[in-house]
A and B are shown apart, each in its own frame.
Chain A
Amino acid sequence: MLDFPRWKTIGISIILLLGIVFSIPSFLPTKAFESLPGFAQAKVNLGLDLAGGSHLLLEADIADLRKTQLTNMEKTVRTAMRGDSGPDDDIAIGELSNAGGGISFLVRDQAQLDEARERLFSETRGAGLTGQRDWNINVVDSQRIVLTPTSAGQTQAVANAMDTARDIIDKRVNALGTREPTIIREGDDRVVVQVPGLQDPAALKELIGKTARLEFRMVDTNADPAEAAAGRVPVGSEIVPYAEGEGSGAPFEVLRRQVMISGEQLINAQQSYDPQSGQPVVSIRFDSGGSSTFAKVTAQNVGKRFAMVLDGKVLSAPSINEPILGGSAQISGSFSVASANALAISLRSGALPVKMTVVEERTVSPELGQDSIEKGVLAGIIATVSVLTLMLVVYGRFGVYANLALVFNVFLIIAIMAAFNATLTLPGIAGFVLTVGAAVDANVLINERIREELKRGRRPFQAVELGYTEASRAIFDANVTNVIAAGLMFWFGSGPIKGFAVVLTIGIVTSVFTAVTVTRMFVAHWLRTNRPTSINI
Chain B
Amino acid sequence: MRLLKLVPDDTNYDFLKWRKLASFMSFFLVVVSIALVAVKGLNLGIDFVGGQSVRVEFTQTMPPIEDIREAVGEIGVGEATIQQFGSDSAVSIRTALPDGDKAAAERAGQQLVAGIQKAFPTARTGSVETVSGKVSEELLRTGAISLALAMLGISIYIWIRFEWQFGVGALGRLFHEVALTFGFFAITQLQFDLNSVAALLTIVGYSLNDTIVVYDRIRENLKKYRKMDIVPLLNLSINETLARTVMTSVSILLALGVLLVMGPDVIFGFTAAMLFGVFVGTYSSILMSTPVLVWLKVGPHSFVPRTVAGIEGGERVERKDDGAVV
Q: Which residues in A have some Cβ–Cβ distance to B below 8 Å?
A: 49, 57, 59, 201-202, 205, 357-365, 367-368, 371-372, 375-376, 378-380, 382-384, 386-387, 390-391, 393-396, 426-427, 429-431, 433-434, 436-438, 440-441, 444-445, 448, 451-452, 455, 470, 473-474, 477-478, 480-482, 484-486, 488-489, 491-497, 500-501, 504, 536-537
Contact = CB atoms under 8 A, between A and B. Distances in A.
Interface of B: 1, 3-6, 9-10, 55, 57, 101-103, 105-106, 109-110, 124-132, 134-135, 139, 142-143, 145-146, 149-150, 153-154, 157-158, 161, 194-195, 197-198, 201-202, 204-206, 208-209, 212-213, 216-217, 220, 240-241, 243-244, 247-248, 250-252, 254-256, 258-259, 261-264, 266-267, 270-271, 274
Nearest to B6: A394
B128 A201 contact: yes
Nearest to B162: A477
A360 B130 contact: yes
Contact of B264 (A367, A375, A431): A375
B7 to A, nearest CB: 9
B139 to A, nearest CB: 6
Given A372-B266, A481-B154, 10 more contacts: A357-B106, A362-B127, A394-B4, A434-B202, A437-B248, A474-B212, A477-B212, A485-B204, A485-B208, A500-B202
A163 B141 CA distance: 27
Contacts of B270: 427, 430
Given A59-B102, A478-B209, A496-B195, A372 B256 contact: no
Given A376-B263, A376-B264, A496-B195, A365 B146 contact: no
Contact of B132 (A359, A441, A491): A359
B255 A383 contact: yes
Contacts of A429: 263, 267
Nearest to A374: B264
Listed residue (A57, A455, A480) with the most chain B CB atoms within 10 angstroms of its CB: A480
A170 B248 CA distance: 48
A376 B259 CA distance: 7
A20 to B, nearest CB: 23
Contacts of A500: 195, 198, 202
A363 B198 contact: no
**Chain A facing B: main interface SS:** helix
Contacts of A426: 264, 266-267
Contact of B262 (A358, A378, A451): A378
B127 A448 contact: no
Contacts of A441: 209, 244, 248, 251-252
Contacts of A485: 150, 153-154, 201-202, 204-205, 208
B126 A367 contact: yes
B106 A361 contact: yes
24 contacts: A59-B134, A359-B105, A361-B129, A362-B127, A382-B258, A386-B255, A396-B1, A426-B267, A441-B209, A445-B213, A474-B216, A477-B212, A477-B216, A481-B205, A481-B212, A482-B205, A485-B154, A492-B146, A493-B194, A493-B197, A496-B195, A497-B194, A536-B1, A536-B3
Contacts of A390: 250-251, 254
Given A387-B255, A438-B209, A485-B202, A394 B3 contact: yes
A57 B251 CA distance: 39
Contacts of B158: 477, 481
B102 A359 contact: yes
